[in-house]
Amino acid sequence: MSTMIEIKHNLQSFIIQHNFSSIVIIADETVWNYYPNYFDFIKEKKIIIPIIISEKIKNLATCELIWQKMSDAQVDREALCINFGGGIISDIGGFAASIYKRGIKVVNIPTTLLAMIDAAIGGKNGINFNHIKNMIGTFHFPEKVFIDKNFLKTLTHNELLNGFGELIKYALITKRDLWNEIKQIPSLSADEIKQTWIDKAVSFKAEVVKIDPFDKNERQILNVGHTIGHAIESFYLKKGDEISHGNAVAIGTVFEIYLSNYKKLVSTKLAEEISNFIKRFFTIPTFTKTESLEIASYISNDKKTMLQTVFLPLLNDIGKISLKQKVEIAEIVEILQNDLR
Ligand SMILES: NC(=O)c1ccc[n+]([C@@H]2O[C@H](COP(=O)([O-])OP(=O)(O)OC[C@H]3O[C@@H](n4cnc5c(N)ncnc54)[C@H](O)[C@@H]3O)[C@@H](O)[C@H]2O)c1
């Protein structure tokens, strides 16, 4: 495993090579407090923008604050923006950087498991709008992503779980060996998360993004568990009872696996194996008809929807996904009312 020092050294070499006019560090304040000396090696032209994060600050007002600070410091187009934190920071920092002076270069240093394997890689960024997650955003690919698993040591169990929800998704969509390894995990801790699992998830995503950078076709394989998961995430956000992205994806995966089985795409045996594994770590809620309709309404707002029908990727087998499966919104409303606990 690379050490923090080696990774910092790579970052330092990258910065020296490029001779940026200034370095803007958009930092999660909590992470900054844990690692206050991380950027001490940058001696000059360093602008630090600490942000106290929550999903609620992923909005235009926070972007304005970032732009104001950049503008006050006369940050120009030759600057580098370093996003130092989890997915909220890479999403909002990436978005702010992508349109500041029509776009400045970005480097991500993800500090959560979720950001390491997903949010900080792949070039998507964005902010929430009208209670809808990531409604406004751009594609702006980071120049580099420096992944240091050591940051996981200070992450709370809940945040580790958040990333684990997304890691399970990778285990379902990539080669079977990742699933075979992950399903043996005795319990969840930073030490139990193997560097090779992170590497496999990252290289799978990189491969898919390379084929389909702007999410037109193949990239939709990454949306397994996400159509229902995102809607559930928006539902709880609106209620003021926020749940993490990875938790929402894990719940979404259980409902989508059920849907896949209902549509005779995946065997009952595998559907049960996957659901039972997810349920070892995550609690699956039950929804009333009214709640199911509300969750489905978020799917109707989703860009993948056409009228009363949604097209989503459904699992056939580990590593085998049928993209763009047509599902009626009414079917999702039905599925959501099942007690899958
Ligand atoms: N753009 C994408 O492709 C993409 C993909 C998935 C998720 N997302 C977005 O990512 C966001 C969620 O990001 P997240 O789950 O990484 O978490 P986060 O950024 O919300 O951070 C979670 C918590 O962990 C803390 N934290 C972060 N790193 C830490 C560390 N090393 N030690 C101690 N505490 C630490 C933070 O302060 C925060 O309290 C959501 O807004 C979601 O929409 C984006």
Q: Rounded to 5 degrees, what angle do the CA atoms 136, 282, 180 make? A: 100
Side-chain-facing half-sphere of 297: CA atoms under 13 Å: 10
Q: Does residue 134 surpass a pLDDT of 90? A: no
Helices and strands of the chain, counted as H and E runs: 13, 10
27 pLDDT above the threshold of 60: yes
What are the tens digits of pLDDT across the range 3-22? 677 788 899 999 999 999 99
Q: How far is the CA of 90 from the centre of ligand 1 (A)?
A: 8
Tokens linked to 122: 């792949």
Average pLDDT of the residues in 138-160: 96
Tell me the pLDDT tens digit for each residue of 42-99. 998 999 999 999 988 999 999 999 999 999 999 999 999 999 999 999 999 999 999 9
What average pLDDT score do residues 130-158 get?
Answer: 93
Structural tokens at position 326:
């047509």
* 328 DSSP β-pair partners: 309
| Position in ligand 1 atom list of the atom nearest CA 166 | 6
Which of helix, strand or coil describes residue 19? Answer: coil
Q: What is the pLDDT of residues 190-240, one digit of tens each?
A: 999 999 999 999 999 999 999 998 888 899 999 999 999 999 998 998 888
- Please state which CATH number belongs to domain 4-154: 3.40.50.1970
* CA 92–ligand 1 middle distance (angstroms): 11
Q: Please give all residues whose beta carbon lies within 6 A of any atom in ligand 1, as ranges.
A: 28, 30-31, 34, 53, 55, 58, 85-89, 91, 111-112, 114-115, 118-119, 122, 124-125, 133-134, 151, 154-155, 159, 162, 244-245
pTM of the model: 0.92
For strands 132-136 and 80-85, give the pairing. unpaired
Q: What's the mean pLDDT in 246-273?
A: 97
SS3 185: coil
Closest residue by Cα to atom 37, ligand 1, is 30
Residue 300: pLDDT band with limits 50, 70, 90: confident
Map residue 303 onto helix, strand or coil. coil
Which CATH architecture does the domain made up of 157-336 adopt? Up-down Bundle (1.20)
> What is the average pLDDT across 241-253?
94
Q: How confident is the model at residue 308 (pLDDT cuts 50, 70, 90)?
A: confident
pLDDT of residue 1: 53
Counting ligand 1 atoms within 8 A of each CB, the residue from 63, 89, 91 with the most, and so the one to mutate, is: 91
| Rounded to 5°, angle at Cα 56 from 53 and 58 | 70
Domain definitions of the chain by residue range: 4-154, 157-336
Output the CA torsion 327→333→335→337 (10° steps): 180
Residue 278, both tokens: 């997810």
Q: What is the largest CA-CA distance in the chain?
A: 60
* CA separation for the pair 100, 116 (Å, rounded): 24
* pLDDT for residue 126 is more than 50: yes
**Ligand 1 atom closest to 152 (CA):** 31
Q: Does 157-336 match 4-154 at the fold level?
A: no
Q: Rounded to an integer, what distance in angstroms lies between the CA atom of residue 316 and that of residue 307?
A: 26
| pLDDT at residue 208, rounded to an integer | 94
* CA of 91 relative to ligand 1 center, distance in Å: 9
Token pair in block for residue 302? 């989703």
Q: What band does 306 get if pLDDT is binned at 50, 70 and 90? A: very low
CA 150 – ligand 1 centroid, Å: 16
Average pLDDT, the chain: 93
With contact defined as beta carbons under 8 Å apart, do 144 and 14 qualify? yes
If you measure from the C-alpha of residue 245 to the centroid of ligand 1, how many angstroms do you get, rounded to a whole number? 9
